[in-house]
C-alpha cells in the first residue's frame, strides 16, 4: 500500500500584524499574496553580511539568524537581499540570497523525551524516509542504520541523529524550523508528517557534534547520575471527608523517610506537600484555596517533614460545590517550588472530587487541565493523579476521570499517570502511595549506585494495577534521567542544516518524536488576545440570539479595516474568512475549531456545545496572559533586533 498524502502549504504563516502607526517608513517586503506577513529568511552556515549588493568580504553571521527582507536586487548575475534584524525599518546590510532559506512559516519543533522510543534520524533525502514509512516491515530497513550508528560509523543516507539525552527547549532554546511538510498515511496505518527541517542550536557546531554523536559513555553517565535527586510534592485535597487519606499519606511518607535514612539518601530524595480546597470568596470558612505546608527545598529530614504537616487537617466546613480547586493546588506546587534543584520532579495529586474548570468564577487559576499540564512541562514536572472514587462522588466520577486523564498524560511518552482507587478504598490507596513513593526512591538509589533505572523498582510481585503503576514510574524515571543528563552534558540539537524527518517514531509509529511550537511575537499575542475577546463577547451574545454572533463579528471585521463589500453574508462563511484573525494563523498544520466555524454550524449547536466552545476559548485567553508575563521565555531570533519582535514558543494545541 502506498502512502496517501495531504499537503499543507508553506506559503503562509507567521510574521507581524503591526499597526501602521508603529511601522517605520521603510517596511520589509510582504510575502506573495499577503497583506500583513513580511518576508523572512534564515541564514545558512558561513553566510556573510556585506555593505552593498555584490560586495566581497563582510561579517559571517551565526547560522539560523532570522532576518527580514527589505529589498531584493541583482548584482553580478546573483540575487541579493537587503536585510534587517526586525520589522521596524532597521536594515543593516546585504546577504547573498543563495546563502539564505525562506522561512515563511514561523514554526519550530521541540524534541519529545526519547525515553520509550528510538532516537530521531535526520535523512539527507526525502525518498529514503518515504521508503521506510512505505515498508511493510520498517524494522528491516531501520535496524541496519541503527547498527552502523551504534558502532560510530556513518549510516547511508543519514545526516545525523537526535542526541542520546533529552534536549529541553525550556532550559536551552534551540531552533528546529519547519521549512515544509506533508501529512502521509504509513503502511502501518498511522498518520505521520514528513517534514523538511533545518537544525542548528545556539551553541557552536563543535559542542553540538559531540552531543549528537554516539553520546556520553556509560561511565560518564553513571558519574553524572551520582548527583541525581528527586522531589515529590503531594498535592492533597483537604476538604471534608479527606482526613483518613491525609493520615495515610503521612504514614506512607513516614515509612519512606525511614527507608531513606537507613540508606543514607537524605540528600537525594525530598518530599513536599501542598493542600488545596476551594474558593474562599464563596465560603470564607475554608481558610485557603491552596497552601504550601512543606517545600522540598527546605525540608531537612523525615521528622522535619512530619512536623511541618502535623497541623494539616480536613476543612471544618463544606465547599460551595462538589468539585474542588485541584488545579490551584497543582499550580501552587508548579509555581512556588524551585524545581531546578532536582533531576526528577513529581507532583502527586490526591483527591476524591473533580476539578473546578478554568472558566468557572470559582477558579483561582483560570486554567483547564491541558493548560496546567503544559505549565507543568515547562519545569519538567510529571503529574500523577490518585483519584479516590468514593460513593459520595459517584455522579462526578466520569467527568473527573476525563479531567485527570488529560492532566496526567506525561508529554512525549503518551503515558497516562492517572490511577483510580475504586470505592475510595483506604487500604488500596495506601498500597498505591507506598508503592509509588518507594518506586521513586528506589530509582534515585539505582541511579546513585549506577544500576539500570528501568526495572529496578519492580522486584516485588504486585497486583496488575499496581504493577502497571510501577512500570509507568520506571519509564518516567528513565525520562527524567535523560532530561537530567541532557542538561548536565549540555546536549544540543544536531548541527545539520537541511534534512528530512518523521514526526513519528519510525518503528513505534504511535509515538511522536517532536511537538510543534508557533513562534508568536508580542504584537501577535496581543492581537490574538484582543480578537479572541471579541469572539468571546460575540459568542456570549450569540447564546441569547445565535444570529447576533456573526453579525457582531462582521462589524468587528469592518472596524479592523476589512472591506465591507468583501465580507460574505452567507451562513457558510467561515470565521477565518471574516478577516478578524491574523494571516499568520491561516495555514498552520492543524484543525482549528475557531477558524473553521461558520454561522450555520454555530446555529446548529445546542447550548451545551456553544458553552463548551466558549469555555475552551476562555481558558486559552487566560493562558495567553501567562505567556505574556513569562519574561524568561521570550526569545530574540536576531542580534540587536527590536524587543517587539522577540518570540514566545506557543504549543500548537494552544492556538485557537
Answer yes or no: is pLDDT of 454 > 50. no
Which carries the bigger pLDDT value, residue 79 or residue 594? 79
Q: Give the pLDDT confidence of 70-99 residue by residue, as tens digits.
A: 999 999 899 999 999 999 998 999 999 999
By the 10 Å C-beta count (0-12 exposed, 13-18 middle, 19+ buried), 442 is classed as buried
Long-range contacts of 69-75 (CB under 8 A, 24+ apart): 69/28, 69/29, 69/38, 69/39, 69/40, 69/41, 70/26, 70/27, 70/28, 70/29, 71/29, 72/29, 72/97
Torsion sign across C-alpha atoms 473, 476, 481, 484 = negative
Answer yes or no: is pLDDT of 167 > 70. yes
* Mean of pLDDT values over 422-431: 92
- Taking the C-alpha atoms of residue 535 and residue 617, their distance in angstroms, rounded to an integer, is 9
DSSP string, 508-528: STTSBSEEEEEEEEHHHHHHH
Q: Give the pLDDT confidence of 481-516 residue by residue, as tens digits.
A: 877 777 777 777 676 668 899 999 999 999 999 988
Answer yes or no: is pLDDT of 451 > 80. no
- Taking the C-alpha atoms of residue 268 and residue 34, their distance in angstroms, rounded to an integer, is 56
Helices then strands, counting H and E runs in the chain, come out as 15, 26
- 355 contacts 327 by C-beta, under 8 angstroms: yes
DSSP string, 400-468: HHHHHHHHTEETTTTEE-EEEEETT-HHHHHHHHHHHHHHHHHHHHHHHHT--STTTT--S---HHHHH
Task: State how beta strands 78-84 and 66-75 pair.
Answer: antiparallel
**Closest residue by Cα to residue 39 from 60, 63, 9, 16:** 16
- 352 contacts 388 by C-beta, under 8 angstroms: yes
Confidence (pLDDT) at 656? 82
* Rg of the chain over all Cα atoms, to the nearest angstrom: 27
Confidence (pLDDT) at 353? 96
Burial 550-580 (b: 16+ CB within 10 A, else e): bebbbebbeebebeeeebeeeeebebbbbbb
**Closest residue by Cα to residue 455 from 479, 433, 466, 439:** 439
* Mean of pLDDT values over 334-338: 96
Confidence grade of residue 57 (pLDDT, cut at 50, 70, 90)? confident
Which carries the bigger pLDDT value, residue 34 or residue 68? 68
Per-residue cell: 577? 474568512
Confidence (pLDDT) at 498? 83
What is residue 583's DSSP assignment? G
Which domains are seen in the chain, by residue range?
8-102 (2.30.30), 113-216+491-512 (no CATH), 223-488 (3.40.50.410), 521-636+646-654 (no CATH)
* Mean of pLDDT values over 549-567: 61
- 338 contacts 297 by C-beta, under 8 angstroms: yes
- Taking the C-alpha atoms of residue 97 and residue 100, their distance in angstroms, rounded to an integer, is 5
DSSP string, 60-121: EPPTT-EEEEEEEEEETTEEEEEEESSSSS---EEEEGGGEEE--S-EEEEEPPGGGSPPPE
* Mean of pLDDT values over 363-369: 94
Torsion sign across C-alpha atoms 202, 205, 211, 212 = positive
Answer yes or no: is pLDDT of 15 > 70. no
Q: Give the pLDDT confidence of 461-477 residue by residue, as tens digits.
A: 557 777 888 888 888 88
- Taking the C-alpha atoms of residue 48 and residue 61, their distance in angstroms, rounded to an integer, is 6
Averaged pLDDT of the chain: 83
User: Does an H or E element contain 52, and which?
Assistant: none
Confidence grade of residue 570 (pLDDT, cut at 50, 70, 90)? low
Torsion sign across C-alpha atoms 11, 12, 13, 16 = positive
Confidence (pLDDT) at 590? 66
What is residue 44's DSSP assignment? P
Confidence grade of residue 389 (pLDDT, cut at 50, 70, 90)? very high
Q: In what order do the strands lie in the sheet with 66-75?
A: 93-96, 78-84, 66-75, 40-43, 100-102
Which carries the bigger pLDDT value, residue 636 or residue 581? 636
Answer yes or no: is pLDDT of 4 > 70. no
**Closest residue by Cα to residue 582 from 17, 9, 12:** 17
Answer yes or no: is pLDDT of 19 > 50. no
Q: Give the pLDDT confidence of 258-299 residue by residue, as tens digits.
A: 989 888 888 899 999 999 999 999 999 999 999 999 999 999
Answer yes or no: is pLDDT of 391 > 80. yes
- Taking the C-alpha atoms of residue 416 and residue 428, their distance in angstroms, rounded to an integer, is 19
Answer yes or no: is pLDDT of 206 > 60. no
**Closest residue by Cα to residue 474 from 446, 449, 434:** 446
Answer yes or no: is pLDDT of 302 > 60. yes
Confidence (pLDDT) at 254? 92
* Mean of pLDDT values over 363-368: 94
296, 302, 304, 310 alpha-carbon torsion, rounded to 10°: 100
What is residue 154's DSSP assignment? P
Chain position carrying cell 513505534:
508
Note the pTM of the prediction, 2 decimals.
0.76
Return the percentage of the chain with pLDDT > 70, whole number: 85
Per-residue cell: 151? 558502532
Answer yes or no: is pLDDT of 143 > 90. yes
Helix, strand and coil in the chain, % to nearest 5:
40, 20, 40
- Taking the C-alpha atoms of residue 363 and residue 385, their distance in angstroms, rounded to an integer, is 19
Confidence (pLDDT) at 462? 59
- Taking the C-alpha atoms of residue 435 and residue 457, their distance in angstroms, rounded to an integer, is 9
Which carries the bigger pLDDT value, residue 583 or residue 295? 295
Cβ neighbours around 151 below 10 Å, total: 9
- Taking the C-alpha atoms of residue 28 and residue 11, their distance in angstroms, rounded to an integer, is 17
Amino acid at each position: 500500500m502506498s502512502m496517501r498524502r495531504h499537503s499543507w502549504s508553506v506559503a503562509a504563516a507567521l510574521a507581524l500584524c503591526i499597526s501602521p502607526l508603529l511601522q517605520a517608513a521603510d517596511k520589509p517586503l510582504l510575502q506573495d499574496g499577503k497583506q500583513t506577513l513580511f518576508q523572512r529568511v534564515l541564514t545558512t552556515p558561513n553566510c556573510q553580511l556585506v555593505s552593498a549588493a555584490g560586495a566581497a568580504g563582510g561579517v559571517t553571521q551565526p547560522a539560523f539568524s532570522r532576518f527580514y527582507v527589505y529589498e531584493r536586487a541583482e548584482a553580478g548575475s546573483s540575487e541579493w537581499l537587503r536585510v534587517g534584524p526586525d520589522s521596524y525599518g532597521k536594515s543593516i546590510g546585504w546577504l547573498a540570497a543563495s546563502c539564505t532559506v525562506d522561512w515563511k512559516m514561523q514554526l519550530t519543533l521541540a524534541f519529545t523525551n526519547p525515553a520509550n522510543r528510538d532516537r530521531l534520524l535526520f535523512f539527507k533525502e526525502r525518498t529514503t524516509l518515504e521508503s521506510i514509512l512505505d515498508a511493510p516491515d520498517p524494522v528491516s530497513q531501520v535496524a541496519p542504520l541503527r547498527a552502523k550508528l551504534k558502532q560510530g560509523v556513518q549510516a547511508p543516507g543519514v545526516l545525523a541523529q537526535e542526541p542520546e539525552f533529552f534536549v529541553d527547549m525550556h532550559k536551552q532554546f534551540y531552533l528546529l524550523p519547519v521549512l515544509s511538510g506533508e501529512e502521509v498515511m504509513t503502511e502501518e496505518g498511522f498518520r505521520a508528517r514528513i517534514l523538511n527541517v533545518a537544525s542548528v542550536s545556539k551553541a557552536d557546531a563543535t559542542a553540538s557534534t559531540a552531543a549528537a554523536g554516539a553520546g556520553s559513555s556509560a561511565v560518564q553517565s553513571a558519574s553524572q547520575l551520582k548527583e541525581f535527586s528527586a522531589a515529590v510534592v503531594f498535592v492533597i485535597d483537604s476538604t471534608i471527608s479527606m482526613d483518613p487519606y491525609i493520615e495515610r499519606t503521612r504514614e506512607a511518607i513516614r515509612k519512606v523517610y525511614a527507608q531513606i535514612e537507613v540508606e543514607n539518601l537524605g540528600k537525594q530524595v525530598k518530599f513536599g506537600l501542598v493542600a488545596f480546597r476551594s474558593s474562599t470568596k464563596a465560603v470564607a470558612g475554608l481558610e485557603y484555596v491552596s497552601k504550601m505546608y512543606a517545600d522540598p527545598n527546605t525540608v531537612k529530614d523525615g521528622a522535619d517533614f512530619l512536623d511541618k504537616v502535623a497541623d494539616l487537617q480536613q476543612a471544618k466546613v463544606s465547599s460551595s460545590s462538589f468539585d474542588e480547586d485541584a488545579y490551584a493546588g497543582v499550580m501552587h506546587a508548579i509555581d512556588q517550588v524551585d524545581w531546578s534543584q532536582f533531576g526528577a520532579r513529581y507532583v502527586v495529586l490526591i483527591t476524591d472530587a473533580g476539578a473546578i474548570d478554568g472558566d468557572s468564577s470559582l477558579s483561582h487559576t483560570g486554567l483547564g487541565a491541558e493548560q496546567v499540564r503544559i505549565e507543568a512541562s515547562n519545569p519538567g514536572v510529571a503529574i500523577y493523579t490518585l483519584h479516590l472514587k468514593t460513593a459520595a462522588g459517584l455522579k462526578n466520577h466520569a467527568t473527573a476521570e476525563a479531567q485527570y486523564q488529560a492532566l496526567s498524560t506525561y508529554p512525549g511518552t503518551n503515558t497516562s499517570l492517572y490511577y483510580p482507587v475504586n470505592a475510595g478504598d483506604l487500604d488500596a490507596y495506601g498500597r498505591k502511595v507506598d508503592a509509588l513513593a518507594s518506586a521513586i526512591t528506589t530509582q534515585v538509589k539505582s541511579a546513585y549506585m549506577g544500576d539500570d533505572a528501568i526495572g529496578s523498582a519492580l522486584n516485588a510481585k504486585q497486583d496488575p494495577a499496581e504493577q502497571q503503576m510501577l512500570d509507568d514510574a520506571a519509564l518516567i524515571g528513565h525520562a527524567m534521567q535523560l532530561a537530567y543528563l541532557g542538561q548536565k552534558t549540555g546536549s544540543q540539537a544536531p548541527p545539520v542544516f537541511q534534512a528530512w524527518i518523521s514526526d513519528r517514531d519510525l518503528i513505534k509509529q504511535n509515538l511522536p518524536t517532536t511537538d510543534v511550537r508557533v513562534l508568536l511575537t508580542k504584537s501577535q499575542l496581543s492581537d490574538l488576545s484582543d480578537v479572541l475577546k471579541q469572539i468571546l463577547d460575540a459568542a456570549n451574545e450569540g447564546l441569547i440570539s445565535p444570529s447576533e454572533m456573526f453579525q457582531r463579528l462582521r462589524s468587528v471585521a469592518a472596524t479592523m479595516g476589512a472591506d465591507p463589500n468583501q465580507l460574505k453574508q452567507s451562513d457558510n462563511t467561515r470565521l477565518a474568512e471574516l478577516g478578524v484573525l491574523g494571516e499568520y494563523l491561516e495555514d498552520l498544520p492543524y484543525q482549528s475549531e475557531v477558524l473553521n466555524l461558520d454561522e450555520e454550524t454555530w446555529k446548529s449547536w445546542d447550548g451545551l456545545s456553544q458553552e463548551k466552545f466558549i469555555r475552551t476559548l476562555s481558558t486559552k485567553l487566560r493562558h495567553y496572559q501567562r505567556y505574556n508575563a513569562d519574561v524568561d521565555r521570550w526569545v530574540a531570533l536576531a542580534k540587536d533586533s527590536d524587543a517587539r519582535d522577540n518570540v514566545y514558543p506557543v504549543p500548537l494545541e494552544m492556538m485557537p
